[in-house]
């Protein structure tokens, strides 16, 4: 009876070791997947930030041109002699 219990204990210990190794493998796989996703996210964020900055620059330049035109138009009106 004791030999049977020891055999069962040893079988359970082997099963636990296999499960622990499997979980360790899964943890490694999940960590690699997390890193890949994080790298993709960082690349996508960088690309989006650059696109936003470019569009913001264009928008700002357009606004500046409109303001310059507006100011010049008001200045020219102010310099015209009144009739």
Q: What is the pLDDT of residues 11-67, one digit of tens each?
A: 999 999 999 999 999 999 999 999 999 999 999 999 999 999 999 999 999 999 999
The average confidence (pLDDT) of the chain is: 92
pLDDT on residue 27: 97
Rounded to two decimals, what is the model's pTM? 0.59
Round the CA-based radius of gyration of the chain to a whole number and report it: 36
What is the rounded distance in angstroms from the CA atom of residue 65 to the CA atom of residue 13?
77
How many CB atoms are closer than 10 A to CB 45?
10
| Interior angle at CA 35, CA 32 and CA 37, nearest 5 | 110
Domain limits, the chain? 1-77
């Amino acid at each position: 009876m004791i030999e049977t219990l020891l055999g069962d204990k040893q079988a359970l210990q082997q099963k636990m070791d296999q499960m622990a190794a499997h979980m360790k493998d899964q943890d490694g796989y999940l960590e690699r997947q997390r890193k890949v996703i994080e790298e993709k996210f960082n690349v996508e964020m960088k690309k989006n930030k650059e696109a936003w900055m470019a569009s913001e620059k264009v928008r700002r330049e357009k606004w500046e041109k409109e303001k310059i035109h507006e100011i010049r138009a008001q200045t020219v009106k102010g310099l015209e002699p009144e009739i």
